[in-house]
Structure 1
Amino acid sequence: METLKSIFRFYINGSIHVALAMCALVQVTFIKFGISGQHYFLLFSFLGAITAYNFVKYSKVSKLYHRRLTKSMKGIRVLTILSCILFIYFAKEISVEALIYMIPFNVLTILYVIPVFPNKKNLRSLTGIKIFIIGVVWVGITVLVPLVHAKGNLNFDFLIEMIQRFLFIVVMMLPFEVRDLQYDDATLETIPQKIGVTRTKVFGSILLVVFLLLTALKNDMLSSIEILSTILITTISLFFLWGTEKKQSEYYCSFWVESIPIMWLIIVVVLQELFN
């Protein structure tokens, strides 16, 4: 049992789970836009996510360093180094245009932890913008870059999908903001710090309603599968948002909330099988 717990902790703390969540959103994008056969890009995204997230979480300049992880840090370092090497190797399979489009999001990730602003601040420590920086990066990596690589149609539906994905990611970050209330510096002025936990849930609910209603604006992508999958993932997201508390189980956010993108992919795949 202890061995299984150790493996699970490594799976979570090594950012494998969040990397799978990111890949799930990339695949949701590919399915929505009728693109198939992008296995190399998915692997590339997976390896990049592990590298980036472990860099953010365990960088010496990051305030998110957890002392309780010191025993497993060696394994996480090895995982991160191997992921980084393979990420660079598989970059040869990715279109040059897509790699160029990735640059701004890579820069944002680096600036998120490295203090290059006045008073030795990084993007994470700038007042009130942390959650939106994460939203922009995830939108770029899970919608824009995959479609550029696959030469997808960057039309009006693409624009709506970008807005929806941004709203979705911001809402997914709110449970983490609530969880970190007891750790975050007051100067960060996170949403729960500014408006409280209950109003944060109301704010997230409003964003999810907008996320859902935007589906009606789509043209070519509008279908029974698109409508049903969006309704279902909105409902699931609302459930986890309102289940968020200041004191929560250890893996409520890091496993269950981060599983929501994976649930979204499963919903889309299952509905495709049922309707097709």
Structure 2
Amino acid sequence: MKTIQSIFNFYLNSSIHVALAVASLVKLTFLKFEILEGDMYVYFSFVGAIVAYNFVKYATISKLYHKRLTKSMTGIKILTGICLLIFVYFAFQLSIDTLMYMLPFILLTILYTVPIFPNKKNLRSVAGIKIFIIGTTWTGITVLVPMLYAEGSLGLDIVIEIIQRFLFIVVIMLPFEIRDLQYDNRELETIPQKIGITRTKVFGSILLVIFLLLTAFKEDLSFAEILTTVLITIVSLLFLWGTDKKQSEYFCSFWVESIPIMWLFILVMMQSLFS
């Protein structure tokens, strides 16, 4: 039993799970816009997410992760190194344009972690913007860049998808901000710190309503996508309102981070049923 738990903890701590969430959102984008030749970018985003998240989490060890750093740290370093090599390999398979589209989001990730601002600050420690930087980065990597990679241009439906994805990412980050209330410095001015837990949930609910309503403005809209959007909105609401300051160890790190994977699974099911 301890072996299974150790493997599961390694799966979470090494960022494999969050990388699957990122890759799921990329695949979701390709499925929504019926792009068949995007698998290389999906793999690229998966290994890139492992490298990026492990860099963010372990470059400077925070209180939140300090308790989890055990002998598995060696394995995490090896996995990250292997993923970095694979990431570089895939980078050479992509066009220069695609890599240039990714550059701002790579820089955001670096600035999020590395203290280069006055008073040795990074973007992560700048008051009030942490959640929006994550939302911007995830949206860019999972919608904007893959669509430019595949299509080379942006139409109205893609612009709406970008806005929806940003709102979705911000909402699923709120449970993490609620969880981290006991760790975050008051100077961060996170949303729960500013308005409290209940109002944070109301704020997230409003964003989800906007996320849902925006679907109606898409020009090319299928019944499968409508039903999928309704279902993932309900799922996200349930997790948002089920969040508390005191929660189980895996509530955010596994279940909340599984929402993008659930979204992909629901879309695949709906498309198979109504195609």
- TM-score bucket (shorter structure): over 0.9
Structure 2 match to 1:224: 223
CA distance in 1, matches of 2:12, 2:62: 18
Q: Which amino acid aligns with 1:251?
A: Y
Moved more, 88-97 or 118-127: 88-97
Which residues of structure 2 form unaligned runs of 5+?
A: none
CA distance in 2, matches of 1:270, 1:10: 30
Structure 2 match to 1:234: 233
- Kept in 1, the 8 Å contact 2:225–2:270? The answer is no
Q: Which amino acid aligns with 1:81?
A: G
CA distance in 2, matches of 1:4, 1:157: 43
- Kept in 2, the 8 Å contact 1:135–1:166? The answer is yes
Alpha-carbon shift at residue 94 of structure 1 (Å): 1.5
Structure 2 match to 1:157: 157
Alpha-carbon shift at residue 60 of structure 1 (Å): 2.6
1:18-66 deviations in Å (ceiling 9; x for gaps) = 0000000001100111101322111111000000000000003756542
Alpha-carbon shift at residue 67 of structure 1 (Å): 3.7
CA distance in 1, matches of 2:120, 2:104: 21
CA distance in 1, matches of 2:259, 2:7: 21
Query: Alpha carbon RMSD of aligned pairs, Å?
Result: 1.1
Q: How does 1:89-104 map to 2 (within 5 A)?
A: 89-104=89-104
Misfit runs of 4+, over 6 Å:
none
TM-score, structure 1 length as denominator? Answer: 0.97
TM-score, structure 2 length as denominator? Answer: 0.98
CA distance in 2, matches of 1:197, 1:171: 13
CA distance in 2, matches of 1:152, 1:261: 25
Q: Which amino acid aligns with 2:37?
A: G
Alpha-carbon shift at residue 151 of structure 1 (Å): 2.0
Structure 1 match to 2:36: 36
CA distance in 1, matches of 2:63, 2:30: 35
Q: How does 1:5-16 map to 2 (within 5 A)?
A: 5-16=5-16
1:68-98 deviations in Å (ceiling 9; x for gaps) = 3132111001011110111001112222211
Change (3 A) 1:96 1:63: farther
Identity of aligned residues (%): 68
Structure 1 match to 2:192: 192
CA distance in 1, matches of 2:162, 2:251: 27
Alpha-carbon shift at residue 150 of structure 1 (Å): 1.1
Structure 1 match to 2:252: 253
Structure 2 match to 1:2: 2
Which residues of structure 1 form unaligned runs of 5+?
A: none
Structure 2 match to 1:262: 261
Change (3 A) 1:62 1:109: farther
The number of residues matched between the two structures is 275
Change (3 A) 1:29 1:122: same
Change (3 A) 1:103 1:61: farther
CA distance in 2, matches of 1:21, 1:274: 23
Structure 2 match to 1:173: 173
CA distance in 2, matches of 1:80, 1:49: 10
CA distance in 1, matches of 2:53, 2:252: 15
- Kept in 2, the 8 Å contact 1:33–1:152? The answer is no
1:20 is the counterpart of 2:20: yes
